[in-house]
Amino acid sequence: MTLALQPARRRHRAFSVPLLLFIGSAALYLCAALWTQSLNQLSAEGIVGLLQRTVALGTVALGQTLVILCASIDLSVGSMISVGAVLASFIMRGAPAMMVPAVLVVLLVAAGVGAINGLVIAKLKVSPLIATLGSGLILQGVLSSGFNNFAGSVPPAFQAVAYGAIGPLPWSVLGLGLLALGVSWLLRSTRFGAHLYAVGGNAAGARLAGIRTDRVIVQAHTLCSLFAGLTGLYLASRLRSGAPWVGRDGVYDLESIAVVVIGGTMLAGGRGGVWGTIAGVLLFAVIDASFNMLGVPAFPKQVIRGAIVIAAVAVYSLRNKGHVA
């Protein structure tokens, strides 16, 4: 929907949006902590608590970044997260021996769902919004007809995923950092990354250049669902069990799209990156944490958050001369 700008500006913007967001988020958090004299929130423990808020949304948003970069979108991640969380705890049923099989099954199912999403979009030419809205509904329906509450539980060893730490740093936060580095490397240094940008920027051109665009789309969706599956595993660990509503109640589908776009990745595809997304996730976590400190009630908070979403995206889209719909 947007006219492509000169490639030279891509690097510049990919750098500035995340930095701006990081600074803004840090400033908001700092001000809230100082204003309310919650100095403990600036201690290592407080900061770690803040980072812990980014793990679930951050993981799913990394996957969402990949599909949005290739001009697609995934609305099924919320349901996929629920499926992952429920399958994990249902298969484990508290038995440490079942940890590895459960994780493998979840990742396998996630990859399968992602591949189907990608195939429906690439081969059947169904608009990604409808394809993934539909597959999300299908997943949710199948899941909810089989389970209606927390199913099974994860063994204490698996709870370490969410509750364990190296020194002050939780493994889950470290894991998110490593995943982000991995995706960043994938985008910058691999052929897949280059193809992803090419397909998102101009699918017809990419095809003419000999890129198998269908395969890129299927791969991106497979990765995206895998990240949603990982988020499900993390939530199962953190909540000690999985319930068929954990993804839906977290609003991970729309929130992940929002943070990706806030982070400067274009919905139309082809431009953006990982660090913007991470900065967007951090902004959401900071909003949660600072509004708690400031005692902002739930309803005004909703209004403000909605306004922040629009304003954050408007700030840099305004420079855009093309049409947006």
Partner 1 sequence: MKRIVLRCSAAALAVGLATGAGAQEFNSQKDFDYAQELLKMTPQGPEGKPWEQNLGGKQIDTSKYKKPGPYNICFSNAGVDNPWRVVGWTDMQAQADMLKSDIKSFTAADAEGKDDKQISDINSFVSSGKCDALIVSPNTTAALTPAVEAACKKLPVLVFDRGVQTDCPVTFVNPIGGYGWGITTANFIVSKLPKGGKVLGLRILPGVDVLENRWAAADRIFKANNINVVGAEFTGGDNAKTKTIVEDYINRFGKIDAIWMDAGATAVAAVEAFEDAGQPYPIITGEDQEDFLTKWKKEKLTAFAPTYPTYQWRAPVIAAVKILKGEPVVGPTWKLPQPVVTQETLDQYVDPNMPPLHYAMCGCKDMPGYPQRWGGK
Partner 2 sequence: MTIALPDTALHRRAGSLTRHINSGVVIFLVLFAAVALKQPSYIEPAGFMNFLRRAAPLGVLAAGQVFVLVSGGFDLSVGSLITLSVLGASMITGGDPSLTGAAIAALYGIGVAVGLINGIAVAFLKVPSIIATLGTLLSVNGVAMMWSGGSPRGYLPDNFRAFGRFVFRDVPLVGQLPLSVIVLAIVAVLAWWGLHGTVFGRRVFAVGDNPRAAELAGIRVDLTRISAFVISALSAVTAGIMLGGFGGVSTDVGQGLELQAIAACVIGGAQLMGGRGSITGVVFGALSLFALFTLLNLLGLPQALRDTAQGLILISAVASGAYRQRTGG
Residues of this chain that interact with partner 2 (CB under 8 A) are: 1, 3, 120, 124-127, 129-131, 133-138, 140-145, 203, 254, 257-258, 261, 267-268, 298-310, 313-314, 317-318, 320, 322-325
* Residue spans of alpha helices (H) in 190-262: 191-201, 203-208, 213-239, 246-249, 252-262
Cβ proximity to partner 1: between 57 and 66 the closer is 57
How many CA within 13 A on the CB side of residue 47? 8
Stretch that binds partner 1, among 6-14, 95-103, 222-230, 241-249 (CB under 8 A): 241-249
Q: Shortest gap between Cβ of 37 and partner 2 (angstroms)?
A: 27
3-state SS, residue 4: coil
Q: Shortest gap between Cβ of 226 and partner 1 (angstroms)?
A: 17
Contact (CB, 8 A) for 183 and 62? yes
**What mask, x for binding partner 1 by CB under 8 A, covers residues 35 to 64?**
---x-xx-x-xx--xx-xx--x--------
Nearest to 223 by CA among 62, 16, 50, 63: 63
Q: Shortest gap between Cβ of 238 and partner 2 (angstroms)?
A: 24
Q: From start to end of the chain, where are the E strands?
A: 165-166, 169-170
Backbone angles phi, psi at 57, to 5 degrees: -65, -40
Contact (CB, 8 A) for 78 and 281? no
Q: Which does 98 bind (CB under 5 to 8 A by kind): partner 2, partner 1, none?
A: none
> Could you give the CA distance from residue 118 to residue 260 in angstroms, rounded to a whole number?
19
Q: Which does 49 bind (CB under 5 to 8 A by kind): partner 2, partner 1, none?
A: partner 1
3-state SS, residue 314: helix
Cβ proximity to partner 1: between 143 and 258 the closer is 143
Among 70, 78, 90, 203, binds partner 1 (CB under 8 A): 90
Any idea how long the chain is?
325
Among 240, 253, 260, 279, binds partner 1 (CB under 8 A): 240
> Could you give the CA distance from residue 6 to residue 271 in angstroms, rounded to a whole number?
11
Q: Does 6 bind partner 1 (CB under 8 A)?
A: no
Q: Does 289 bind partner 1 (CB under 8 A)?
A: yes
Contact (CB, 8 A) for 246 and 237? no
- State the residue for tokens 């051109």: 205
> Could you give the CA distance from residue 210 to residue 185 in angstroms, rounded to a whole number?
23
Cβ proximity to partner 2: between 50 and 143 the closer is 143
Three-point CA angle 253, 123, 60, nearest 5°: 20
**What mask, x for binding partner 1 by CB under 8 A, covers residues 169 to 198?**
------------------------------
Cβ proximity to partner 1: between 146 and 322 the closer is 146
Q: Shortest gap between Cβ of 299 and partner 2 (angstroms)?
A: 4
3-state SS, residue 165: strand
Which 91-110 positions form the footprint of partner 1 (CB under 8 A)?
109
Cβ proximity to partner 1: between 39 and 310 the closer is 39
| Residues found near partner 1 in the complex (CB under 8 A) | 38, 40-41, 43, 45-46, 49-50, 52-53, 56, 90, 109, 112, 116, 120, 138, 142-143, 145-153, 159, 163, 235, 238-241, 243-246, 249-250, 288-289, 292, 295, 297-299, 301
